[in-house]
Structure 1
Amino acid sequence: MVKNHHPPSSPWKVIQLLAEIHSPWVTVIAEQLQDDQGKIVDYWRVEKADSVVILTIQNQTLILPRPMYRPGVGKTTLDFPGGRVSSEQTPLEAVPLILQKELGIQSHEIAKIITLNHEGWAINSSFSNQKLYGFMAEILPNISINPEQIGAIYPITTQGIEALLKDLVCLQCRGILLEWKQKFKIN
């Protein structure tokens, strides 16, 4: 049993709002805060919509969409299907829409969707309120996915997963893959 020997710190107090910038995708907030030791600090944070990452499986293979340019890292990367969760939907409701957009898969072509983490993980708890939800979607075995929308296919084998981990640069995608691997005891 692991014991926490540190009492929880008290919440920091907002002294004043310094700046706030709104956009459809993100709100950037600068605040002056007083920490639990009484020190005054200027702090920047972002508020973002939650994210969904989906492991798409068909016939014992992991299917990833075509690589996309990622402005945050300034390059094209291979990632699992994923996207933001709008305020009008739940993370689970976002899954079929994302699979339609990224792989052309219709909702009736999905055999099952399994939630990998029900609470969502904080992506960067010090800087953002955004949570990540992971799902596994199993596609019906006889469905043909447009090859133009497929970026890569990896077998669900030890070697296939190791190769995929080497090719993924996104920590969110890697985290969801490892959670799935552990939860389903994939060797």
Structure 2
Amino acid sequence: MSNMDWKLLSSEYLFKDDWLTARIDTCQTPGGKVITPYYVLEYRDWVNGVAIREDGMVIMIRQYRQGIGKTLLEIPGGTMDESDPSPLFAMQREMLEETGYEFKDWVSLGKIAPNPASSNNYTHLFLATGGVKVTDQKLDHNEEIEIELISLDELQQLVLENKLEQSLHVTCIFYALLHLKKMKML
């Protein structure tokens, strides 16, 4: 297999903020072709997770998403804070903030690159089981989240009928259902 990695010749930041950083790179391919401008968006890593209570019900959340101008049914998740020591810690923090639940068992389902062509971050995927409500939601100032409980069968049906629109969440749900042996491979 040949090396297809590009060489970074220069990089300049166009915009820097807590939630979004944009840079312009100049790169060179192994064949010598110079690629410029190449825009890259930098984000902190994200986390999301399928949350299952002790009684087997799945905790879903509803919230408005300005990017597409719609309220969506999703799984809990969010951005890793700079102070989070690990993706698992970040996911446990997000679960507690968004749902008020703590979980007995955690399984890492891996990580995926949301858009590796133009973004530098990863999304870390989790399955949390044995959830018990321990507190009220502690939402960020810009969050309005409603909790919705559904069965695992209903969750699988939502995936099969393409009723969930957040692709990173669908990926996590799919991996969780495979892990739980609720989704069959063709």
TM range (shorter): 0.7 to 0.9
2:112 maps to what in 1?
121
CA distance in 2, matches of 1:83, 1:40: 36
TM-score, with normalisation over the residues of structure 2? 0.81
Q: 1:111: how far off?
A: 1.8
CA distance in 1, matches of 2:168, 2:6: 28
What RMSD in Å do the two structures reach over aligned CA positions? 2.4
Percent of residue pairs identical? 23
The answer to whether the Cα contact below 8 Å between 1:123 and 1:130 also exists between their aligned partners in 2 is: yes
For the residue of structure 2 that corresponds to 1:185, the secondary structure is: coil
The one-letter code matched in structure 2 to 1:172 is L
Q: 1:178: how far off?
A: 0.6
Question: Runs of 5+ in structure 2 lacking a partner?
Answer: 138-143
The answer to whether the Cα contact below 8 Å between 2:65 and 2:72 also exists between their aligned partners in 1 is: yes
The answer to whether the Cα contact below 8 Å between 1:30 and 1:44 also exists between their aligned partners in 2 is: yes
2:7 maps to what in 1?
13
CA distance in 1, matches of 2:65, 2:145: 17
The answer to whether the Cα contact below 8 Å between 1:104 and 1:149 also exists between their aligned partners in 2 is: no
Q: 1:7: how far off?
A: 2.1
The one-letter code matched in structure 2 to 1:111 is K
CA distance in 2, matches of 1:127, 1:61: 37
CA distance in 1, matches of 2:173, 2:120: 22
For the residue of structure 2 that corresponds to 1:64, the secondary structure is: strand
Tell me the matched-pair count: 173
| Counterpart mapping for 1:106-185 below 5 A | 109-117=102-110, 120-140=111-131, 143=133, 150-157=146-153, 159-164=154-159, 166-185=162-181
CA distance in 1, matches of 2:71, 2:146: 15
Residues 16-50 of structure 1: per-residue CA shift (max 9 Å, x gap): 33543100112111122222222222100011111
1:54 to 29, 32, 49: 49
2:60 to 61, 64, 84: 64
CA distance in 1, matches of 2:163, 2:136: 22
CA distance in 1, matches of 2:146, 2:11: 46
CA distance in 2, matches of 1:168, 1:145: 27
Q: 1:163: how far off?
A: 2.5
The one-letter code matched in structure 2 to 1:135 is F
1:83 maps to what in 2?
78
CA distance in 2, matches of 1:150, 1:144: 17
